[in-house]
Structure 1
Amino acid sequence: MSVARRLLFAWFIAALAAGYAQIADAKVPGRSVEPVRQIELSEEKITHYLAARPAFDEILAKAAAVPEPRYMRLLNETARKNGFADYADYESVAINVVWILTGIDPLSKKYVGVQTVTKQEAAILLSDKALSPRDHRSRFDTLHAQMLTAAPTKFAANIALVTKYYDKLFTLDASKN
């Protein structure tokens, strides 16, 4: 793998890291890593997700300063304004979108599977001598959680939809970093 390809790949993984943290967190005491609950996505759900994501990112960035009941009410109101039943509905779509994105090779923009991409990420991480041992451990924990949750995609149409909107979804994630 060329240096340019590794850098692009590493940048892509960093862009998805924040979104993937919602899927699995192996470091939370008492919480087991569970496979993603896959749902069938639709074009409408993807476009609602794209429209709502900036609003949710803004709310979640302020969440620490907002009391819990108000915070959940605001998330649910925002979800309803953007075509979702509630915040849990939005979150389910978000997790499934990020799950499919995690299995897309950023260079070819083709779905190759979460395990394949995760193995490529691990190889890149092993060769990265610039990271501190703590950062290496943290990233390996995330990769480990990805491998534990990797399951075959139940809905092949989800891959086609996320791939269709790949550039928009990637731009949305990349703009956060």
Structure 2
Amino acid sequence: MTIFSRAFRAASLSALLTGAVLAPATALAQARPPAPAPDRVPAGAPEPGKEIALTQAQIDGLLAAQPELAKLSGAAPDKPDPKAEEQAQGQAEAIVKRNGFESLEAFQDASDTVDAVLGGIDPETKSYVGPTALLKKQLAAVQADKGMPAKEKAEAVKEIKAALAAGESAKPSQGNIALVTKNYAPLSAAMGDGEGTQK
């Protein structure tokens, strides 16, 4: 996977964050299975970036770049087009540089670091509790949901239990937790979980 594909994946962030982000409380009842956490990415998937020490400037740059990156279109997955992907990669590189990042790789490292923290923030309390606590909360909500079809519930429970069994990656640094928590509303809105629009 190219650097652009990795950054574009981060920009669309329908999956932010590749971390196990807990859906907002209203979506808990719908029991969407969690996305795999960075340490549980399936074989063949790109490896998550390293944790970096975030700055407010990086958070601001990430928030500014996200909407622009989301508008880029690369080649269709079923019809790879190296020329279109190369052009989109060049555009993505220009966007992230314009927003204060040295490269797409630096942008992705910042995005992955934010993902790791967001994946452990409880959307109700806006405090970092870790992905395991959120998965347990999600599991309890799924198991208590009487309206969910049995087959769907069983699959969701199985996936959540598998994510719990895989364990948790190292806890992000306190500095990163504090900075992402401070910027939780705009980050969660930009990263696609919709919680940032609620107070």
Verify same fold: TM over 0.5. Answer: yes
CA 1:8–1:154 in 2, change beyond 3 Å: closer, same or farther? closer
1:50 — aligned with what?
Answer: 63
Aligned Cα root-mean-square deviation (Å): 3.8
1:104 — aligned with what?
Answer: 121
Deviation, 1:87, is 1.6
In structure 1, stretches of 5+ residues that fail to align are 1-5
Whole-angstrom CA distance in 2 between matches of 1:91 and 1:100: 14
Whole-angstrom CA distance in 2 between matches of 1:142 and 1:68: 34
Deviation, 1:10, is 5.1
1:9 — aligned with what?
Answer: 25
**1:151 to 2:164 alignment:** no
Larger mean CA deviation between 144-153 and 157-166 belongs to 144-153
Deviation, 1:136, is 6.2
More helix by proportion, 1 or 2?
A: 1
Deviation, 1:156, is 0.8
**1:41 to 2:54 alignment:** yes
State whether residues 41 and 158 of structure 1, in contact with CA within 8 Å, keep that contact through their aligned partners in structure 2: yes
Question: What is the DSSP-based 3-state SS (H/G/I as helix, E as strand, rest coil) of the residue aligned with 2:75?
Answer: helix
Give the structure-2-normalised TM-score: 0.64
Letter in 2 for 1:110: S
In structure 2, stretches of 5+ residues that fail to align are 1-21
Taking every aligned residue pair, what percent have the same amino acid on both sides? 23
Whole-angstrom CA distance in 1 between matches of 2:135 and 2:176: 19
For 1:16-165, what aligned pairs fall within 5 Å after superposition? 23=38, 26=41, 28=42, 30-31=43-44, 37-59=50-72, 62-65=73-76, 67-128=84-145, 129-130=147-148, 133=151, 137=155, 141=159, 144-145=162-163, 148=166, 150-165=168-183
